[in-house]
A and B are shown apart, each in its own frame.
Chain A
Amino acid sequence: MPVVFSHLNYIYSIKTPMEFSALKDINLQIEDNSFTMIVGHTGSGKSTLVQQINALLIPTSGIVDVNGIVVDCNVKKLKNIKELRKGVGLVFQFPEYQLFEETVLKDVSFGPKNFGVDNKKATELAKEALNLVGIDESLFDKSPFELSGGQKRRVAIAGVITLKPKVLILDEPTAGLDPQGSREMMKLFTKIKEQGTTIIMITHDMDNVIRYGTDVVVLAKGELIKKCRPYELFLDQDSFNSLSIDEPLVIKMAKRLNQNGYHISLENVIDIDSLVQEIKKEKRYE
């Protein structure tokens, strides 16, 4: 499902002294089956932006179009809001705080049940999702509050992907996880993407952006700075310096090699393996 924003503005606490304009004239299209990364300084409006996609926040002006379902400021009571939310799954920052059921399995099947799936089917879907996120069957009947932080995170994510959303939004899903857990999590999202889901992910980790992203969206102070392929972000030194974005290590290395006579195209460098491949190619030409 493509997600299109046009002339979108969002103001928090409108018409009060605390009024704050969090998004300013956003025009953006997120393509179907892309892995779109959203980056930007803290407070730049990333979380605010993604909450417009499933109508948790309603635009102050402008529209969001999710595959034909249009959300704009005139919609007081959105009729197809349930349909919209079924198609768009949103995993919040620190989603482990939304767990509440007695058992892990019950918590994960809570979502499907809300959308009218019967008990048996919901449990089936929940088991499937839990397997996907790598939660062992022995934990299914445990209380979610007895799990470790990382396990809780997985269960919470399973609670959203069990709905099989067409668009999966992730707000800093790897924050606070160990490197190993973080890598596994990213692998999981790639797997979900391969099943045809559009993934939108907010992150501060540029290594993940370059490694997994097909597109990157840069926000600053509520404005859309640019949308491009991840490597393009690092072509122009000045622009990303001013956005205080860190260069991924592999890009840094590739650039250094290029300064020393190599001709590596940054486009192909996404991780160490691909960098090695590029260097090998170069060797062959020599």
Chain B
Amino acid sequence: MNNITLGKYVPYNSFVHRLDPRYKIFAMILLMVCIFLKFASIWMNFIIYGVLAIIIFSIMISSHVKILALFKQLKMMWFMILFILVINVLVPGDESLGYFQITSNWKIYFSAIYNTLYVAIRLVLMLGLSMVLTATTTPLQLTGALEWYMYPLKFIRFPVHEVAMMISLALRFIPTILEETDRIMKAQASRGVDFQRGKLKEKLRAIISLIIPLFVSAFQRSDDLANAMEARGYNPQAKRTRYRVNKWHLRDSFSMFFILLILGGLITLIVTKFDLVAWIMSICA
């Protein structure tokens, strides 16, 4: 079970760890927007991706998220990237960017390759960002922040607190269920189940031997929890106070300023249709 690195909180005490979780969610969304912006030319796109990659990778390093782990996660996505490439090659692209002539009536457009590259780069960067968020923010902090964002929904009678409670309970049980999975896998492995290899039929049996006990114990656990909460007088409608209150610090304002600066700069580049490559060429000429 040690291969699940995505979505696992790692307790360090870095700058990013100490940031306000509400701000972290906000910053992640802003940076994701940046990743999806389109600039004046293809080269400009790649230059900006490079800059964003440097920023995101340095955030990862400073918050102790291993970049190697990111690429390990990507292993599973190779197939998807390949699939996107095939689709892109098959549909007619933008002729103005040039193409390879393969046979007399089959061309591969450069734009197909560019588009695939865009998707791949965006995937890497988005994955990196979400890894930073989950590695530096406890599930409890995350739901706390989500609840804060959902607060306006209260006015349309959306059960914000109940939903937040459900999310935090679900998140709370992820480690427990992982532990349970590990235990059941070991127990079945000592009965001769091989979870790694085997024919399809054997694999199916192996998975059934894991899933059923897992469900049985999950239902049991939720039953127990519900009883325990009721026994202690839990009332979803009651007004509740928080044990940990999120506090906005100077560091949050500071890094918010930084992120807004990046977004603002990028938007300016788009609006002015600035093209670095063309600009340098014009200077040299």
B185's closest neighbor in chain A, by CB? A56
Contacting pair B10 A160 (CB below 8 A): no
Q: Please judge, given known A-B contacts A18-B11, A97-B213, whether A86 and B192 are in contact too, CB under 8 Å.
A: yes
Are B190 and A97 neighbours in the complex by a CB distance under 8 Å?
no
Q: Is the CB of B187 within 8 A of A85?
A: no
A82 touches B194 (CB 8 A): yes
Q: Which residues of B contact A56 (CB under 8 A)?
A: 186, 189-190
CA distance A112 to B193 in the complex (A): 10
Binds B, one of A88-96, A187-195, A273-281: A88-96
In the assembly, what is the distance between CA of A99 and CA of B85, in Å? 45
Which A residues between 112 and 149 are near B, CB-CB below 8 angstroms? Answer: 112, 114-115, 145
How many Å lie between the Cα of A95 and that of B217 in the bound state? Answer: 12
Instruction: Please report the C-alpha to C-alpha distance between residue A92 and residue B192 in the assembled complex, in whole angstroms.
Output: 14
- B77 CB to nearest chain A CB (Å): 24
Question: Using a CB-CB cutoff of 8 Å, which residues 9-23 of chain B contact chain A?
Answer: 10-12
Scan A30-62; emit 1 where CB is below 8 A from any B CB, else 0: 000000000000000000000100101000000
Tell me whether A110 and B183 are in contact in the complex, defined as CB-CB below 8 angstroms, given that A97-B213, A99-B213 are known contacts: no
Q: What range describes how many residues of A lie at the interface?
A: 20 to 34
Q: Is the CB of B192 within 8 A of A82?
A: yes
Q: How many A-B residue pairs have CB under 8 A?
A: 61
Contact indicator A97/B183 (Cβ below 8 Å): yes
With the chains together, A37 CA to B203 CA distance in Å?
36
Partner of B191, one of A13, A16, A97, A98: A98
Does A159 count as interface, using CB distance less than 8 angstroms? Answer: yes
Interfacial chain A residues near B180, Cβ < 8 Å: 97
The listed residue with most A CB atoms (<10 A of its CB), out of B186, B190, B208, is B190
Interface secondary structure of B, over-half rule: helix
Contacts of A160 in B (CB 8 A): 190-191
B131 CB to closest chain A CB, in angstroms? 15
Q: Which residue of B lies closest to A17 (CB)?
A: B11
Cβ A92 vs Cβ B186 within 8 A? yes
The yes or no answer to B176 lying at the interface (CB within 8 A) is no
Report whether A114 and B213 are in contact in the complex, using a CB–CB cutoff of 8 Å: no
**Chain B CB within 8 A of A209 CB:** no
CB-CB contacts below 8 Å: A132-189 with B: 145, 159-160, 163
Q: Is the CB of A98 within 8 A of B192?
A: no
B183 and chain A: residue at smallest CB distance: A92
Is A230's beta carbon under 8 Å from chain B? no
Q: Is the CB of A95 within 8 A of B186?
A: no
Chain B residues near A222 (CB-CB < 8 A): none
Please give the distance in Å from B31's CB to the nearest CB on chain A. 25
How far, in whole Å, are A92 and B190 apart by their CA atoms in the complex?
A: 10
Least Cβ–Cβ distance between A17 and chain B, in angstroms: 6
Interface 1/0 per residue, A98-118 and B, CB below 8 Å: 111000000000111011000
Question: In the complex the two chains form, is B216's CB within 8 Å of A90's CB?
Answer: no
Which chain A residue lies CB-closest to B220? Answer: A97
Interface pair B186/A97, CB less than 8 Å apart = no
Among B10, B190, B208, B213, which residue has its beta carbon within 8 angstroms of that of A54? B190
A86-B187 Cα distance, complex, nearest whole Å: 13
Expressed in whole angstroms, the minimum distance between the Cβ of A274 and any Cβ of chain B is: 35
Alpha-carbon gap, A16 to B213, bound state (A): 30
Report yes or no: A114 in contact with B183, Cβ–Cβ below 8 A. no
Given contacts A82-B194, A110-B209, contact A97 B189 (CB under 8 A): no
Q: A18-B11, A92-B183, A98-B184 are in contact. Are A114 and B190 (CB under 8 A)?
A: no
Task: Return chain A residues, CB-CB under 8 Å to B186.
Answer: 51, 56, 92
Cβ of B55 within 8 Å of any chain A Cβ, yes or no, is no
Contact between B12 and A90 (Cβ–Cβ < 8 Å)? no
Q: Which residue in chain A gives the minimum CB-CB distance to B190?
A: A90
A114 touching B192 by the CB < 8 A rule? yes
- In this assembly, does B188 line the interface, its C-beta being within 8 Å of a C-beta of chain A? yes
Bound-state Cα–Cα, A89 to B191, Å = 7
Residues of B193-210 whose CB lies within 8 A of A = 193-194, 208-209
- A217 CB to nearest B CB, Å: 20
Interface set of A (CB-CB < 8 Å, partner B): 13, 16-18, 51, 54, 56, 82, 85-86, 88-90, 92, 95, 97-100, 110-112, 114-115, 145, 159-160, 163
Could you list some 10 contacts between A and B, CB below 8 A?
A: A17-B11, A88-B190, A92-B183, A97-B180, A98-B209, A100-B212, A110-B191, A111-B192, A160-B190, A160-B191
Chain B positions within 8 Å of A, measured between CB atoms, are 2, 10-12, 180, 183-184, 186-194, 208-209, 212-213, 216-217
